[in-house]
Amino acid sequence: MKSQENTISGKRKLFNERFDELSDSDIQKEILFAKYLNIDKLERIRVNTSVLIWFLIIIPIIITLVTMTLIA
């Protein structure tokens, strides 16, 4: 438990050292940039998920339907 507290307080100390000298505007820009990075990552995840759905579900269904109509 103590090591966890030391880690958190260490992170807090680093955070304070980094952001103490910034103005409110600079902090807002930092937050905006962090949100932008988060949105960018989520968009890439969405695109990759869409591609996986197409290759793992939709395309095999289409191939199955085409082969069934050719056999019949």
pLDDT in tens, 11-20: 888 888 888 8
Binning pLDDT at 50, 70 and 90, where does residue 1 land? Answer: low
For residue 20, the SS3 value is coil
For residue 71, tell me if it sits in a domain.
yes
For residue 46, tell me if it sits in a domain.
yes
Range of the domain at 40: 23-72
Binning pLDDT at 50, 70 and 90, where does residue 50 land? Answer: very high
Residue 36 CA to residue 23 CA, distance in Å, equals 20
For residue 54, tell me if it sits in a domain.
yes
For residue 10, tell me if it sits in a domain.
no
pLDDT tops 90 at residue 63: yes
Number of domains in the chain: 1
